[in-house]
Amino acid sequence: MSEPMVASESVGCRPTNGSADAGPILQMLHITKQFPGVKALDDVTMTVQRGVIHAICGENGAGKSTLMKVLSGVWAHGTYEGDIIFDGQEMAFHSIRESEEVGIVIIHQELALIPELSVTENIFLGNEVTNHGVIDWEEARRRALDLMARVGLDIDPDTAIKNLGVGQQQLIEIAKALSKNVRLLILDEPTSALNEDDSANLLDILRGLRAKGLTCIMISHKLNEISAIADSITVIRDGKTVESIDVAREGADENRIIRAMVGRPMDSRFPDHQPHIGETFFEVKNWTVEHPQIPGRLVCKHSDFFVRKGEIVGFAGVMGAGRTELARSIFGRTYGIWRDGQIYLNGEPVTIPNVSSAINHGIAYVPEDRKMLGLNLLDTIADTIVSAGIKRISPRGVIDLHAERAAAEEYRKEMRIKAGNIEVVVSTLSGGNQQKVVLAKWMFTQPVLAILDEPTRGIDVGAKYEIYTLIANLADEGKGVIMISSELPELLGVCDRIYTVFEGRITGCVKASEATQESLMRQMTDTATTAPVA
């Protein structure tokens, strides 16, 4: 094979014989990447044809993101074995900038936008539009409008990113990629934080880009979306390529994909669970909370609901409906300004003004944003798991390190957290394993009520099943569970009752066994209030 090109030497290079145009745009051959004690990638081979949407599937920790970091230069040439062939040329990227120079752009699951800057500033950050060394803001805005039009976004380019919804921010990331003359666009879980409408819009944008010849690689756990949009699929398990599927010729059988991902058939997406529901022990009445920054705007409007022992209660609503605001305001008033309402625990009124009080009353909250609100990414697994219940291992106010290690190891095994040991730093774990660490942290507090906000967001079908089983086990222990989810099939498959929320108001409650996605959606977009189901 010819001497590999470093990206800075190969910008714009294309073989002159035209062979590359007829062949695949990308080949990753025999890629092997090792970390201390862990082989993250083991002889992975993948081929991506031109002008297609190629999906990569696999369980959390399978190596998907690591493979894309190798491709984009995050893991530099020389730190892995194997070859990257892009557009017929062997590449040796040493940084993201080098891969971007030849047209490979990656959009990570955690969006890399600066909230305080405008749309224009974010699109051209690091790639500024200049005239004689000075930023030409008029031309930058004009180009920003053109790029936004390509992704179907009609907003003022001077709008601050912090004032946009997550779906709009995702489109800004794509516009930013297009500004770099992208030829291969990599999207890591692009719809994980989006509602159904925004997800459908994003998929339509990708179809449009494909029609114009852009090649996309999409990492996703949402098999229905992969089935709907992918032209080809590579499945990775335990760092190895286990299957490549040509969707046009073979179809996209979700059961086949699942078997390849987890190494076993899954007859059901949800565990069988027979509820044993007891008496009401947690109740909220007339809960009213004001927005923390907009005086007079209520994010929770006179909400009433209850939870019984052994019951899994779902909360459904479109993005921005107020589900998270309700949960966080109940958990020690960590969001908004409390204006009215009362919490009852075992029939007695209680006041829960802060997080410590919530923990002391047996309430746990797993946030939807695990990296911002759920974890200190610099901590180890051991430190994280015991952090919310430190009193349990601190007789006379001194931490018992032996008890800490024993507890952390017990939860690591019980939660099947994929890590060599409990001293591993949580920032090095996959998203699904980070989520398991957050869950373990709150299970260690031994709560009577667990509030789980999007507990399966961005994790694979196998890990989801494990979390569903954990939720069922909590209910079987007589604990109450509140589960917030944007995936209606998930709520219907796991919960006993489901409340619907619209514009900060609870609009209905129904037994899960009597609900459908359509009936829930009607109540999620309607201000009419239905009497709670007993």
State what percent of residues in the chain have pLDDT above 90.
55
Least confident stretch, 58-62, 138-142, 222-226: 58-62
Q: What is the pLDDT of residues 374-400, one digit of tens each?
A: 888 889 999 999 999 988 888 888 889
Distance between CA atoms of 173 and 341, rounded to whole angstroms? Answer: 41
Distances (CA, A) of 323 to 134, 163, 326, 350: 46, 19, 5, 21
Q: What is the pLDDT of residues 471-491, one digit of tens each?
A: 999 999 999 999 999 888 899
Q: What are the structure tokens assigned to 106, written together?
A: 């990656």
319 closest CA partner among 195, 178, 452: 195
- Rounded to the nearest integer, the mean pLDDT of the chain is 87
Task: Name the pTM for this structure.
Answer: 0.65
Please, what are the domains in the chain? 1-9+24-103+187-201+217-262 (3.40.50.300), 110-182 (no CATH), 268-362+447-534 (3.40.50.300), 374-446 (no CATH)
Measured in degrees and rounded to the nearest 5, phi and psi for residue 52 equal -120, 170
**Per-residue confidence at 36, pLDDT binned at 50, 70, 90?**
confident
Distance between CA atoms of 42 and 45, rounded to whole angstroms? Answer: 9
Q: Where are the alpha helices (DSSP H) in 59-151?
A: 64-72, 96-101, 119-123, 137-150
Give the DSSP H or E segment for 41: strand 38-48
Sheet holding 184-188, edge to edge: 104-107, 184-188, 215-219, 53-57, 232-237, 240-246
Q: What is the pLDDT of residues 92-101, one digit of tens each?
A: 999 999 999 9
First to last CA, the chain: 71
Give the residue, 224 or 282, on which the prediction is more confident. Answer: 282
